[in-house]
Amino acid sequence: MLATVISAAVSVIIPKITNNFLAKPDGFTNLSNILNLAYILISLQIGSGLFMYIRNLTGSMIGVKVEIEYRNKVLKHLLELDMSYYEDRKIGDTLTKLISDTGVIGENMQSIPLTILSSVVTFFGSIYVIFSLNWQLSLIVLGIVLLILVVSILNVQIIRYLNYKWRKVYTDVNADITDRLSTITLIKSNATEKTENERFFNEHLKYYQAAKKTITFDSFTRALLITLLTGINIVGLVAGFIFVNKGMLQPTTLIAFILAVNTLIFPVIQSIVLLGNLAKTSTSIIRVNEILEVEPKIKTKDNALAVNEITNDIIFENVNFRYDDKEAWILENFNFTFEKGKSYVIIGATGVGKTTISKLLLRYYDPAQGRILINKDTDLRDVDLAQYLHHIGYIEQDPQILYGTFAENISYTKQGATLDEIKAAATKANLHDYIQELPNGYNTILGERGINLSGGQKQRVAIARIF
């Protein structure tokens, strides 16, 4: 901020110094006078440049920090949200907000306050300078400037609205692409590349249309405002000539005056650009907050009970459960005791709710009514969820594989496990022999979502994780 103020202040005083030199009786005729002025102005300009460098450097670094902090905050929140958040949203939508919108925020978070600061300094500094040179001429200039500022503030409201719509379409397109690319095998196995290409093309047409509206409006108003602003120079000059003609102004003062008007225009142009950026940033903040405002439905209580082991029955007691958007109960008045030490197999028609039972045991969701008890009498809602899950092994039919090595994937459930432990787990899961024969063994990279593994191998990785 200090660097901003200094750099801005220097640019403001240059016309004033120029005027002081030119106002001397021999101002123009004495060459050494002019050279002195040149030295001073050049040094000031270099000084101003130096401070501008400091401002840009520190400012941009702050911007990056803000972006990272914002991202971490959103990411932390996303991890805290329960499964229901992810079920009715496309992942690409969340990704765009997480990556692109936080970027917009970070970039502008530093530049906006600094630009306001430097604009205020240069604006009021220049106003002071022009008024000290000639107040009548200054009034004319100031009138036009204020009019332009009012118009640009109104302009921002419209840009904000258009921009929000544009970002929405942008998110939709990104979400669509992410969705399709993550189901690439479906596309490949059905040879739908051509239709997908056409779909992408059409999606981008919508994007193009939305962008066009915003850009057309923004470009026009920016050009208009900036043309008007630079026109102030001409108005100042012509009015100045008339003032000189009437003997109300010295020609040398007019030079300083026009210099000062130029310094005045700069912050106004900056403000116009800034107002546009402000609109964009506020759009991005609104969008990121759409994530941050979602409250996780499943939360570990502050006074949660510790679960050191699961040594007793697991009981479903009068459990009623349905998914958010569904009318019908999946489980209705469900009573069942999983007895200690026994193995259970659940058989039933597709879609009756077998998997739902295991999801409830993982506390992806809470029952609407009734209780799920572990260790015979502890309500699942009262326990420390992370600690409880530590005692649970869950293998999905389509197990999740991370991009990374076998070793990393197997040790995911026990961070920092030794290679021996990993090998022992893989052996129990009947996977060790296969891995050992690979040239890179446990360091073999598994593609995204385990694309280079067989279905059975994926499941074995998941089983090894549990061990």
Ligand X SMILES: Nc1ncnc2c1ncn2[C@@H]1O[C@H](COP(=O)(O)OP(=O)(O)OP(=O)(O)O)[C@@H](O)[C@H]1O
**Residues that contact ligand X, how many (by CB under 6 A):** 12
**Residues that contact Mg ion, how many (by CB under 5 A):** 2
Q: What's the half-sphere exposure (Cβ side, CA atoms, 13 Å) at 57? A: 7
DSSP string, 331-375: EEEEEEEE-TT-------STTSSHHHHHHHHTTSS--SEEEEEET
Sheet containing 331-338: give its strands across.
331-338, 314-321, 369-374, 378-379
Which CB sits closer to ligand X, 4 or 356?
356
Token pair listed for 38 = 């040149």
Partner whose footprint covers residue 416, from Mg ion, ligand X, none (CB < 5 to 8 Å by kind): none
Least distance between Mg ion and beta carbon 355 (Å)? 3
- Kind of pairing, strands 314-321 and 331-338? antiparallel
Least distance between ligand X and beta carbon 316 (Å)? 14
Which CB sits closer to Mg ion, 355 or 443?
355
Least distance between Mg ion and beta carbon 91 (Å)? 22
Separation between Cα atoms, residue 113 and residue 1, nearest integer Å: 9
- Of 295-354, which residues contact ligand X (CB under 6 A)? 323, 326, 330, 348, 350-354
Least distance between ligand X and beta carbon 164 (Å)? 29
Which CB sits closer to ligand X, 85 or 434?
85
Separation between Cα atoms, residue 63 and residue 86, nearest integer Å: 29
389, with CB counted inside 10 A (0-12, 13-18, 19+), is middle
Least distance between Mg ion and beta carbon 346 (Å)? 9
Separation between Cα atoms, residue 467 and residue 463, nearest integer Å: 7
* Identity at 56, one-letter amino acid code: N
Identify the helix (H) or strand (E) that includes residue 91: helix 91-96
Separation between Cα atoms, residue 168 and residue 287, nearest integer Å: 9
Token pair listed for 419 = 């290679």
Which CB sits closer to Mg ion, 216 or 355?
355
Which CB sits closer to ligand X, 123 or 365?
365
Instruction: Verify binding: residue 355, Mg ion, rule CB under 5 A.
Output: yes
Residues 6+ apart with CB under 8 A from 266: 11, 122
Which CB sits closer to ligand X, 118 or 356?
356
Identify the helix (H) or strand (E) that includes residue 331: strand 331-338
Token pair listed for 240 = 């100045």
Least distance between Mg ion and beta carbon 403 (Å)? 26
Least distance between ligand X and beta carbon 88 (Å)? 8
Which CB sits closer to Mg ion, 100 or 358?
358
- The interface mask with ligand X, positions 57-96, x = CB under 6 A, is ------------------------------x---------
Least distance between ligand X and beta carbon 359 (Å)? 7
Separation between Cα atoms, residue 217 and residue 162, nearest integer Å: 9
Helix, strand or coil, per DSSP, at residue 127: helix
Partner whose footprint covers residue 418, from ligand X, Mg ion, none (CB < 5 to 8 Å by kind): none
Partner whose footprint covers residue 351, from ligand X, Mg ion, none (CB < 5 to 8 Å by kind): ligand X
Which CB sits closer to Mg ion, 321 or 442?
321
Tally the residues of the chain: 467
* Identity at 313, one-letter amino acid code: D
Separation between Cα atoms, residue 19 and residue 253, nearest integer Å: 6
* Identity at 118, one-letter amino acid code: S
Which CB sits closer to ligand X, 303 or 397?
397
Least distance between Mg ion and beta carbon 413 (Å)? 22
Interface ranges with Mg ion (CB under 5 A) = 354-355
Footprint on this chain of ligand X (rule: CB under 6 A): 87, 323, 326, 330, 348, 350-356
